[in-house]
Amino acid sequence: MELKDHILMTRIDNRLVHGQVGVTWTMTLGANVIVVIDEAAAHDVLQQKLMRTVARSSGADIRFFTVDEFVKVFPNVSENQRLYLIVHDPLPIVDLLKAGIPIQSVNVGNMHFAKGKMALNRKVYVDEADLEALRIIESFNVSIFIQDVPGSVSEKLSGLDEVKFVLR
């Protein structure tokens, strides 16, 4: 099995691991390890404990890394590990791709509304930095799609160079 085959999906979700991620997506994908790549969560024991509880309900293990830590350990992934990567926003994915992590596709789950963000759809709001990061991800020939849960309609994001940042 090639290293790229160990990553089943990479998801952007402001909530990191919750019911949809920790149970529904994990079980649908057949992932046995949820990998949270997030600077804050990698050092927050309480947040890890809460996410670990959700992961257990799907029968998956869960690991917490910074981008740099994951880049170092990924080449040593064991033959039986099937990874589901979760990040808070698109910026870590850019760093992972630049470091050579073989991400094939990115699922955008939730990027919450905040002041200074525009809607890409009803659950995904981006600021200029998010949009630029998504453009860079797309430039690596990575497929980007919005999909909340496995049974919902998948909306492919493409042509992001043509998207203009406009607040309404």
**pLDDT tens-place string over residues 89-145:** 999 999 999 999 999 999 999 899 999 999 988 889 999 999 999 999 999 999 999
By residue count, the chain amounts to 168
Q: Which domain holds residue 56?
A: 3-150
Structural domain includes residue 80: yes
Structural domain includes residue 31: yes
Whether 6 is catalytic is no
| DSSP secondary structure of 49-116 | HHHHHHHHTTT-EEEEE-HHHHHHHGGG--TT--EEEEESSSHHHHHHHHTT----EEEEEEB---TT
Catalytic residue among 6, 18, 43, 112: 18
Q: Does residue 36 sit within a domain?
A: yes
51-81 pLDDT, tens digit each: 999 999 889 999 999 999 999 999 999 999 9
The mean per-residue pLDDT over the stretch 137-163 comes to: 90
In a domain, 159, yes or no: no
CA nearest 111: which of 101, 96, 122?
122
Report which DSSP code applies to 25: I
CATH of the domain at 63: 3.40.35.10
**How many domains in the chain?**
1
How far does the chain reach from its first CA to its final CA, in angstroms? 47
- Cβ within 8 Å of residue 95, ≥6 positions away: 67
Tokens, residue 107: 């699922």
Q: Is residue 156 part of a domain?
A: no
pTM value is 0.94
